[in-house]
């Protein structure tokens, strides 16, 4: 049940009650590259076990570690859980993707790094052939029969070639899984809101008429991953 905190004592009593605290990052610890007032000091002096949980899949845990370092927060990679990492763990440990199969990625380098760390083969993503505004035609496209999943995260280089290829895999490769790192419709930057990962995957949802498996909050998948550690 939600409780309204008002006095200093209310806050202290809540802090005393729990040893482990989970924090969101974007919009909670920082907006873009600007730390939120007091956040760093609070983290460094908390004396608590801290975990950082983020739906933002454009960055790997190592990228996040660098971001924490930059703002002066003392955080280790093991304390960071991102939807990119959780998606990679889901594909290797829950889906148990066979080693000869691969993933078609709509997403950025942070997502690719986490897939590499888990030993998952992938195509798409930051491949220059897929980062183009040239006209996409099926006549010039060869379907890769080994693509067994499409994984979609926030991709600021989203384009018609990536969407069209993902759509081909999801409609033409039997059993191809449709996964999204998270379903956030927007994400907060230093200067305001921009379309989020949920919005980037929306064309595929609309074209397919079905919803993907979502990894990040509020889906349980990422939290299961944290609990297992």
**Residues recognised as catalytic:** 19
Contact 83, 151 (CB under 8 A): no
Say how many C-beta atoms besides its own lie within 10 A of residue 133's C-beta.
9
d(CA 199, CA 16): 39
Using CB under 8 A, list all residues that contact a copy of itself: 131-133, 135-139, 155-160, 163-164, 167-168, 171, 185-186, 189-196, 198-200, 202-207, 209
Q: What is the nearest approach in angstroms of a copy of itself to the Cβ of residue 227?
A: 29
> Which CB sits closer to a copy of itself, 1 or 139?
139
Return all residues near 157 (Cβ < 8 A) that are at least 6 apart: 108, 126, 131
d(CA 215, CA 84): 9
> Which CB sits closer to a copy of itself, 125 or 196?
196
> Which CB sits closer to a copy of itself, 81 or 187?
187
**Is the preceding peptide bond at 207 cis, omega within 30 degrees of 0?**
no
């Amino acid at each position: 049940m939600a409780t309204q905190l008002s006095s200093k004592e209310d806050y202290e009593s809540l802090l005393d009650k729990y040893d482990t605290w989970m924090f969101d990052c974007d919009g909670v610890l920082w907006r873009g590259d600007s730390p939120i007032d007091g956040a760093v000091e609070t983290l460094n002096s908390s004396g608590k076990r801290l975990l950082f949980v983020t739906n933002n899949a454009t960055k790997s845990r190592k990228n996040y570690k660098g971001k924490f370092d930059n703002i002066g927060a003392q955080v280790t990679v093991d304390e960071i859980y991102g939807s990119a990492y959780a998606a990679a763990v889901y594909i290797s440990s829950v889906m148990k993707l066979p080693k000869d199969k691969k993933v078609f990625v709509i997403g950025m380098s942070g997502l690719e790094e986490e897939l590499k760390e888990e030993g998952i083969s992938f195509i798409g993503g930051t491949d220059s052939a897929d980062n183009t505004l040239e006209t996409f035609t099926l006549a010039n496209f060869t379907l890769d029969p080994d693509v067994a999943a499409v994984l979609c995260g926030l991709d600021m280089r989203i384009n018609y070639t990536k969407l069209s290829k993902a759509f081909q895999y999801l409609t033409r490769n039997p059993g191809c899984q449709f996964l999204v790192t998270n379903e956030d419709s927007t994400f907060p930057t230093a200067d305001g809101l921009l379309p989020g990962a949920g919005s980037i995957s929306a064309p595929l949802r609309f074209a397919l008429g079905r919803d993907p498996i979502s990894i990040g909050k509020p889906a349980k998948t990422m939290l299961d991953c944290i609990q297992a550690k």
